[in-house]
């Protein structure tokens, strides 16, 4: 897929850089460049940690392949907690993705997503996974029983916020990965949840194969109209 090569140029790892504590940024998730190239999208839960005002600390967008990494300072300027999205302002322009329309795609649609499923321990090596949209469902992680439905889940169900359920294997590090159409490369959603069977660690050894993505219509609402 030529679209993978193109998408990979716009995908980066989202990190938290604390120079006084570490020589390299701590990888938190994935993001991708949008708009005119000076903005990036990721999940709100990836960048919701309050920055420590007593030390030099900031978010960064890391792009490139292997050890050839370009680190760009990033500032959170807009958030959408309901849809788990955040807009970052980048310190330099990077190649943006092409965004799809705000219409929901039907179940059965082929998709792919690119990101950093296990962080960047050995360097930046974006991985791409393929799958399909299996359903359009309310935005609440399924619980095993009614006793496990939290107040927050019930609020989300009541709000009728619809997201994509994917028949595709994603991992915690894929949070913020762009979901795109393999043929055109148009981004149609953002990975934001992965169903984990047992512990978070088991997501790597025994993934469930069920992931969720926020439709791109909510991304379009966050990007400034320059």
> Of the candidates 55, 90, 125, which is a domain's last residue?
90
Q: Are residues 119 and 206 in the same domain?
A: yes
Q: Are residues 81 and 148 in the same domain?
A: no
Q: What does the pLDDT average to over 177-182?
A: 97
Calpha distance 78→113 (Å, rounded): 23
Q: Are residues 53 and 116 in the same domain?
A: no
Domain count, the chain: 2
**Assigned domain for 100 exists:** no
197-208, pLDDT tens digit by residue? 444 444 444 454
Q: What does the pLDDT average to over 182-199?
A: 81
**Assigned domain for 95 exists:** no
Say which CATH number the domain at 30 has: 2.40.10.10
> Of the candidates 59, 90, 121, which is a domain's last residue?
90
58-89, pLDDT tens digit by residue? 999 999 877 788 999 999 999 999 999 999 99
Q: Are residues 218 and 116 in the same domain?
A: yes
pTM, entire model:
0.86
Q: What is the pLDDT of residue 52?
A: 86
Share of the chain above pLDDT 70, in %: 81
**Assigned domain for 104 exists:** no
Q: What is the pLDDT of residue 105?
A: 97
Between residues 40 and 200, the one the model is more confident about? 40
Q: Are residues 82 and 54 in the same domain?
A: yes
Average pLDDT, the chain: 85
Instruction: Domain of residue 123: give its range.
Output: 110-222
Q: Are residues 53 and 118 in the same domain?
A: no
> Of the candidates 57, 90, 123, which is a domain's last residue?
90
Q: What is the pLDDT of residue 106?
A: 96
Share of the chain above pLDDT 90, in %: 62
Q: Are residues 130 and 202 in the same domain?
A: yes
Q: Are residues 116 and 70 in the same domain?
A: no
Q: Are residues 84 and 115 in the same domain?
A: no
Q: What is the pLDDT of residue 171?
A: 84
Q: Are residues 63 and 143 in the same domain?
A: no
Three-state SS annotation for the chain: CHHHHHHHCCEEEEEEECCCCCCCCEEEEEEEEECCCCEEEECHHHCCCCCCCCCCCEEEEEEEEECEEEEEEEEEEEEEHHHCEEEEEECCCCCCCCECCCCCCCCCCEEEEEECCCCCCCCECCEEEEEEEEEEEECCCCCCCHHHCCHHHHHHHHHCCEEEEEECCCCHHHCCCEEECCCCCCEEEEEEEECCCCCCCHHHHCCCCEEEEEECHHHHHHCCCC
Q: Are residues 70 and 38 in the same domain?
A: yes
Residue 11's pLDDT band (cuts 50, 70, 90): very high
**Assigned domain for 103 exists:** no
Q: What is the pLDDT of residue 92?
A: 96
Q: Are residues 126 and 158 in the same domain?
A: yes
**Assigned domain for 31 exists:** yes
**Assigned domain for 99 exists:** no
The answer, yes or no, to whether residue 173 has pLDDT greater than 70, is yes
Q: What is the pLDDT of residue 72?
A: 96
The answer, yes or no, to whether residue 91 has pLDDT greater than 50, is yes
- The Cβ of residue 104 has, within 10 Å, a number of other Cβ atoms equal to 17
**Assigned domain for 97 exists:** no
């Amino acid at each position: 897929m030529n679209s993978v090569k193109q998408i990979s140029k716009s995908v980066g790892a989202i990190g938290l850089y604390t120079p006084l504590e570490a020589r390299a940024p701590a990888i938190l998730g994935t993001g991708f460049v949008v708009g005119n190239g000076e903005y990036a999208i990721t999940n709100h839960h990836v960048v919701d940690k309050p920055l420590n005002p007593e030390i030099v600390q900031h978010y960064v967008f890391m792009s490139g392949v292997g050890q050839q990494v370009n680190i760009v300072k990033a500032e959170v300027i807009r958030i959408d907690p309901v849809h788990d999205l955040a807009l970052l302002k980048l310190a330099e322009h990077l190649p943006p993705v092409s965004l799809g329309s705000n219409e929901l795609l039907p179940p059965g649609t082929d998709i792919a997503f690119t990101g950093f499923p296990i962080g960047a321990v050995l360097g930046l090596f974006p991985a791409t996974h393929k799958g399909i949209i299996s359903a359009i469902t309310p935005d609440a992680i399924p619980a095993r029983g009614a006793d496990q439905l939290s107040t927050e889940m019930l609020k989300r169900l009541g709000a009728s916020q619809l997201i994509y359920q994917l028949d595709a294997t994603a991992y915690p590090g894929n949070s913020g990965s762009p979901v795109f159409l393999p043929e055109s490369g148009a981004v149609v959603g953002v990975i934001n949840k992965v169903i984990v069977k047992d512990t978070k660690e088991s997501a790597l050894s025994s993934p469930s194969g069920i992931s969720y993505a926020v439709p791109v219509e909510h991304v379009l609402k966050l990007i400034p109209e320059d």
